[in-house]
Amino acid sequence: MDLGSTASLLLATFLPILLMINVWKKVFKKDKMPPGQTPLPLVGNILQVKSGQVAKSLLKLRDIYGPVFTVYLGCRRVVVLCGCDILKEALIKQGDQFISRGDIPFLQSMLHGSGIGVTNGEQWKQIRRFSVMTLKSLGMGKRSAVQEEAQHMVEKIREHKEAPCDPSSFINHASANIILSITVGERFDYENEIFNRLLFNIKEGFEILCSFWGQLYDMFPKVMDYLPGPHKRMFKHFKYLEDFIAERVKMNQETLDTNCPRDFIDYYLIQKEQGKIPMSERFDIMDLKMTVMDIILGATETTNQTLKYGLLLLLKNPDITEKAQKEIDTVLGERSSPNLEDRQKMPYTNAVVHEIHRFCDTVPMGGCHAVTCDTQFREFVITKGTHILPMLTTALHDPTYFRYPNNFNPENFLDEKGNFVKNEAFVPFSLGKRNCPGLSLAETEVFLILTSIVKNFNLKSTCDLNDLDLTPIESGFENLAPPFKMCFIPR
């Protein structure tokens, strides 16, 4: 090969690489952005952010670069915020600048860019306002629905006759029935085939979403769309729920009585018919279906994990369980079913439930935000469109707000006299205008279900308490309770 041919070959080989590096350097302009580890082309900080340990990896980077830093998840530039004060400053004090929803590829694909979870601007404001008001009317206005479902669950547990079991089944059926009764106006028997198939598809979809394949899709969606793998099944599982909701919407349209709304779907259809919901090219039935889907998924998975983790914590700490049990017995007397008004008379039990939410830390990284414009934040300038990751876990374990940040201890929510006290770092449902729209319902559900169980049953572990592991199984999306079995002993 002559010298000219060799030079041409070298040029053809290395010129694209040099061009890519040059482009990457231009993309990776630090300007006044927060500090962070220099990313690799295309894959970003994949060496620093380990699959299955995303939150832990980010906390290690915080220890190096401080509470506000930059990380690249694939080609996406993300600014990570840590600590209660920083989260409040961004999401509340500068909330309008941090209000946009960042790209969440699997949600955008699954929800077809519609609904409450992934939209922005006026469309999001309208559907958010409607959803919060309607959930309040249907959920908090009918607290008896949660009480009744809790009693159904208690009876199903009794039928199990003290046998060792994974409590997930009872919990999953109960929480799903509560949100289905609100959204589609029907609760299902625990043996109902359609109901169980629905729960199976939701469970399978979330398992893939929380796996390595789900994280790959989140980082490289355009590539993964063309590759085979379990992520393809994830969308098929969630499509089953979409088809179920579409059928319920059609049924409601055919039987709608504008004077007697039955559920979330009816409220939307009535508002639409009366012109109270402004129609746009997309703000229509698709938004209704995707909003219902978003609410069902959000209400089932995170609530299930909180309840399951809560039972594990109560098993591990029998002294705390016994103290809460005595308080519940004193307040309820012979009643077997608590109501929400009882919460004010149960400061210790209320503190236990709050501590379960805090310690479980179900969604440690919150939901992805994005800044709406070039934003001055402290000594940094965050460029428009940059994704923001609010690390809720750093607020829930902030030592400046909690006396026992790393231990399960109800005294984190009690004063010296044993009175319940609120804590502004209690943000399991996020904070600001993008917080969870169903947080009141979720808090009600967890309180009533757990107190119903503790009132009616003693909890028994199937193994030595020292062998019960509280370490969560971390995924890219949420902290999952480790597997365990238990026995419910009727009182």
Only one residue has tokens 């149960």, namely 346
How many Å apart are CA 13 and CA 10, to the nearest integer? Answer: 5
Nearest in space to 60 (alpha carbons), one of 68, 70, 72, 48: 48
Sorted by sequence, the CB contacts under 8 Å of residue 184 that are 6+ apart come out as 245, 248, 263, 264, 265, 292
How many Å apart are CA 202 and CA 476, to the nearest integer? Answer: 17
How many Å apart are CA 310 and CA 298, to the nearest integer? Answer: 18
Q: Give the CA diameter of the chain.
A: 97
The full DSSP string for 351-397 is HHHHHHHHHH-SSTT---EE-SS-EEETTEEEPTT-EEEEEHHHHHT
How many Å apart are CA 483 and CA 421, to the nearest integer? Answer: 32
> 121-138 vs 439-456: helix axis angle to the nearest 10?
30
- Residue 470 CA to its chain's centroid (Å): 19
Domains of the chain from N-terminus onward: 64-490 (1.10.630.10)
How many Å apart are CA 116 and CA 9, to the nearest integer? Answer: 53
In the chain, the amino acid numbered 233 is R
pLDDT of 154: 96
Give the number of other Cβ atoms within 10 Å of residue 283's Cβ: 18
| pLDDT tens-digit readout, 127-141 | 888 888 888 888 654
The distance in angstroms from the start CA to the end CA of the chain is 89
How many Å apart are CA 409 and CA 319, to the nearest integer? Answer: 11
DSSP letter assigned to residue 467 = G
Query: Could you say which residues of the chain have pLDDT below 50?
Result: 3-4, 6-7, 10-11, 15, 18-19, 22-23, 26, 141, 281-282
CA angle 143, 156, 463 (to 5 degrees): 110
pLDDT of 273: 78
Nearest in space to 316 (alpha carbons), one of 172, 447, 154, 481: 481
45 SS3 class: coil
Give the number of other Cβ atoms within 10 Å of residue 20's Cβ: 12
Cβ atoms of residues 312 and 484 within 8 Å? yes
How many Å apart are CA 479 and CA 481, to the nearest integer? Answer: 7
| pLDDT tens-digit readout, 252-295 | 999 999 989 999 999 999 988 776 665 554 457 888 999 999 99
Beta bridge partners of 461: 486
DSSP letter assigned to residue 171 = H
DSSP letter assigned to residue 465 = G
pLDDT of 90: 97
Only one residue has tokens 């999401």, namely 91
pLDDT of 23: 47
Give the number of other Cβ atoms within 10 Å of residue 38's Cβ: 9
What pTM does this model have? 0.89
The full DSSP string for 94-115 is TTTTS-EEPP-HHHHHHTTT-H
